[in-house]
């Protein structure tokens, strides 16, 4: 086969274009910091990168969920802490009222403070995070107490005892709310009983002191209801459960942070430019390109005059 001048020229131009494209790709890698700038550059790297980014997006969502869960759990713990503090004050008032030196009027004044603390308990039962009530199960848009009683719109409904779960990891969800209807109902019943006792002029110090125990008889004497020590023990148990949730959330958050670092590292190793290698390859490509230009110039410099000499 005869090698013509046009064949030499075309081959040289094609090889020069290939060389330009290679240098352009290396230049893009150094400019962008990424091995690929479009999926077609390397489909394998592109697909793996998409998988890593999906993992990072999921991780970010789980971390947002954990922050929301922390808000729920911390707010619940704060409300129950105030319940415990108020119960301690109730105990002080009961001890004070049980003193035989108190007159009926003095006990009535103590009863007035008990009434205010009872309202405080109802306010705590209606604690909110933003627009969500935290002790009403799945009825987060309605308060637990309304007009001094359990809200009739939700009283007796299954949703009051249902859990609110949040996904905190792949396949792992946590209950972030605390069922409060039974406990706050018992607290309210106890406080109402205590009000009645302190407003009774014929009550004895022993009957007042009975309110300090684990349980005592209701107003009609027909049943036992939780008393101060029982209620305080229950709130401590509830707070212990919340503390366990807080610890688990912190562990899950640490796990997510470690996973985020690992996936970010894998993503970087998958598609970030190795600048030392890219610069070396660029230098080599430029040298080859310059050599190609030099050789090509000598090959195609011939004219018709050169052939007729």
Distance CA 134, CA 75 (A): 8
Q: Is the pTM of this model over 0.85?
A: no
pLDDT recorded at residue 46: 83
CB 175 within 8 A of CB 192: no
Domain residue ranges in the chain: 52-264, 275-309
What is the model's pLDDT at position 192?
93
Question: Cα 52 from chain centroid?
Answer: 21
Contacts with 120 (C-beta within 8 Å, 6 or more apart), sequence order: 82, 86
Residues 69-125: pLDDT tens digits?
999 999 999 999 999 999 999 999 999 999 888 888 888 899 999 999 999 999 999
pLDDT of residue 184: 97
Q: Are strands 165-169 and 149-150 parallel, antiparallel or unpaired?
A: unpaired
Residue 125: closest CA among 181, 85, 189, 70: 181
C-beta neighbour count of 227 within 10 angstroms: 21
CATH 3.30.2420.10 given to domain 52-264: no
Residue 200: pLDDT band with limits 50, 70, 90: confident
Q: Is the pLDDT of residue 153 over 80?
A: yes
pLDDT tens profile 27-65: 766 666 676 777 777 788 888 989 999 999 999 999 999
Of 18-22, 149-153, 216-220, which range is least confident?
Answer: 18-22
The mean of the pLDDT values for the chain is 85
């Amino acid at each position: 086969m005869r090698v013509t001048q046009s064949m030499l020229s075309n081959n040289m131009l094609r090889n020069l274009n290939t060389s330009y494209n290679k240098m352009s790709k290396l230049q893009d890698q150094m400019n962008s910091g990424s091995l690929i700038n479009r999926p077609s550059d390397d489909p394998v790297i592109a697909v793996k990168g998409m998988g890593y980014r999906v993992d990072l997006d999921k991780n970010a969502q789980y971390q947002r969920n954990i922050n929301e869960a922390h808000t729920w759990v911390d707010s619940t713990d704060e409300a129950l802490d105030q319940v415990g503090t108020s119960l301690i004050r109730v105990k002080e008032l009961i001890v004070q009222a049980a003193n035989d030196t108190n007159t009926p009027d003095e006990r009535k004044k103590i009863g007035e403070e008990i009434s205010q603390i009872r309202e405080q308990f109802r306010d705590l039962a209606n604690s909110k995070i933003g627009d969500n009530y935290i002790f009403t199960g799945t009825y987060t848009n309605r308060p637990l107490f309304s007009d001094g009683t359990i809200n009739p719109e939700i009283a007796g409904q299954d949703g009051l005892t249902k859990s609110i779960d949040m996904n905190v990891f792949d396949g792992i969800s946590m209950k972030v709310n605390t069922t409060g209807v039974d406990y706050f109902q018992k607290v309210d019943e106890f406080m109402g009983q205590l009000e009645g006792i302190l407003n009774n002029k014929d009550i004895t110090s022993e009957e007042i002191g009975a309110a300090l125990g684990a349980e005592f008889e209701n107003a009609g004497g027909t049943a036992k209801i939780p008393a101060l020590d029982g209620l305080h023990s229950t709130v401590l148990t509830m707070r212990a459960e919340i503390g366990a949730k807080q610890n688990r959330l912190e562990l899950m958050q640490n796990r997510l942070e470690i996973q985020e670092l690992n996936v970010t590292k894998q993503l970087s190793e998958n598609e970030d430019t190795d600048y030392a290698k890219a610069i070396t390859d660029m230098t080599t490509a430029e040298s080859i390109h310059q050599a190609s230009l030099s050789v090509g110039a000598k090959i195609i410099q011939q004219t018709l005059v050169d052939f007729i000499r």
